[in-house]
Amino acid sequence: MSQAPLDLPRARQARSRVTRELIFQAGTALLEEGGAEALTVAAVAARAGVSVGSVYRRFGDKDRLLASLQADFTQSFGVEIIRRFTSSPRARDADPAAVITGAVSGVAETFQAHQRLMRVFMLLGTANEAVLREGTEASVDGGRAFRRFLDPVVPHVRHPDVETALDFAFRLVYAVCAHRVVHGEHLESTRPLPWPRLTEELAATVRLYLLGELPAGTAT
């Protein structure tokens, strides 16, 4: 009598990981396309090409699925911000103005790359305490990474309370990017302000706030 392959449990684990990834991809796409209203267990199963039972077995109801999707997204978001910090040429630059520009760019570019999904979770957070709590923890972690990246700037900060200034700098960057994600480009003004220009102006603002001076060659 033939025996089952010895790697059967491993094969099942591999299939389970693939199924989970398909569900995550389907759920993320539905959130980006139609918001939280589009996320149903049936829709996710159909989009992922799996049974409804597979979704229920792994995640339970819609709320638990949503929580899992948000946790996966916030973890990836945090990793991406850190990657952008550490991969930036400015991370190795001794010039404090360049380090600040790299920090601001890392946050803004990550927001831009994921703005559709960020908007969904930010709007959900206004009414869903669990979503707000997860988002708050992720943003605080992002602030810690921002602070660590700006460590070389500390001796050059002109503010009398350095830690307060660095904390506020992150709050400012986060708030501006979150506002753009939720409300778009033209809520306050009809003047064009695409993401690259927004990032440049935001970096210049933070440099001025922290260093107390404009970079050489800047018009006043």
CB contact at 8 A, 19 and 54? yes
Q: Tokens 């850190």 appear where?
A: 82
Could you state, in order of their start, the residue ranges of all structural domains in the chain?
Answer: 1-60, 62-211
Give the separation between CA 115 and CA 201, rounded to whole angstroms: 19
User: What is the pLDDT, as a whole number, of residue 6?
Assistant: 47
Q: pLDDT means per 10 residues in the chain (220 residues)? A: 49 76 94 93 95 91 92 91 75 79 94 95 94 93 94 94 97 97 94 96 96 60
pLDDT of residue 8: 42
Containing 102, the helix (H) or strand (E) segment is helix 96-113
Question: Quick count: other Cβ atoms within 10 Å of Cβ 43?
Answer: 18
Tokens encoding 208: 């001025």
Prediction pTM value:
0.84
C-alpha span between 51 and 40 (Å, rounded): 13
Report the distance separating Cα 36 and Cα 95, nearest Å.
44
- What are the residue ranges of helices labelled H in 114-191? 115-125, 129-149, 162-183
Which residues are CB-contacts of 94 (< 8 A; sequence separation ≥ 6)?
152
Give me the torsion for CA of 204, 208, 214, 215, rounded to 10°: -60
pLDDT of residue 83: 87
Query: What is the per-residue pLDDT for 88?
Result: 64
Architecture of domain 62-211: Orthogonal Bundle (1.10)
Domains 1-60 and 62-211 share a fold: no
Cα distances (angstroms) measured from residue 192 to each of 104, 106, 202: 20, 22, 15
What's the CATH fold of domain 1-60?
Arc Repressor Mutant, subunit A (1.10.10)
- Token pair in block for residue 135: 């988002």
Residue 152 confidence (pLDDT): 92
SS3 87: helix
pLDDT for residue 153: 94
